[in-house]
Amino acid sequence: MIATFSINGRTRDVDVQPNQTLLDVLRDTLGIFDLKEGCSEGVCGACTVLLDGRPVSSCLILGLSARRRRIMTVRGLAGDGELHPLQQAFLRHGAVQCGFCTPGMLLTGLAFLERHPNADRAAIREALAGNLCRCTGYAKILDALEAYARELNGRG
């Protein structure tokens, strides 16, 4: 069936199977590869997208349930040629190695810090519990998120 999606501010009409996950709709049908598939069982967080500003594992929800809601992927982060400050923080702090977890980390971190700009490192750590990274040991990802939180608070 044809359903209407709003992805990074653009509206798309898509032919969707009722049993397709949001991950499959975005990656397979639309060729939007900026979310990754790491497990398809809701554990790794590599497939994270923001749905109305909240992080969800797109492998766990049906595509149709995201109709007419705001879907955001990593490409929605950067402005015209300008990286989002959180992306810049990831670069400065060396938070990226293989980069497979990075889209999910950025989106989960962003959504959390927008709601909890005063969060400390321990709280940010808790917020990342659903996003696995096999490369970094998390310390530099936390460094980047903490630095961004400071920026949000004008303490940068």
Alpha-carbon distance of 151 to 85, in angstroms, equals 9
Binding-site partner at residue 55 among another protein, ligand FES, none, CB < 5 to 8 Å by type? none
Minimum gap (Å) between residue 43 Cβ and another protein: 4
Q: Applying CB under 6 A, which part among 2-10, 37-45, 86-94, 121-129 lies near ligand FES?
A: 37-45
Alpha-carbon distance of 88 to 51, in angstroms, equals 23
Each residue of 102-137: b (16+ CB within 10 Å) or e?
bbbbbbbbbbbbeeeeebeeeebeebbeebbbeebe
Minimum gap (Å) between residue 5 Cβ and another protein: 18
Is 131 a binding residue for ligand FES by CB under 6 A? The answer is no
Q: Of 51 and 89, which has the nearer Cβ to another protein?
A: 89
Is 59 a binding residue for ligand FES by CB under 6 A? The answer is yes
Amino acid making up residue 123: A
Is 45 a binding residue for ligand FES by CB under 6 A? The answer is yes
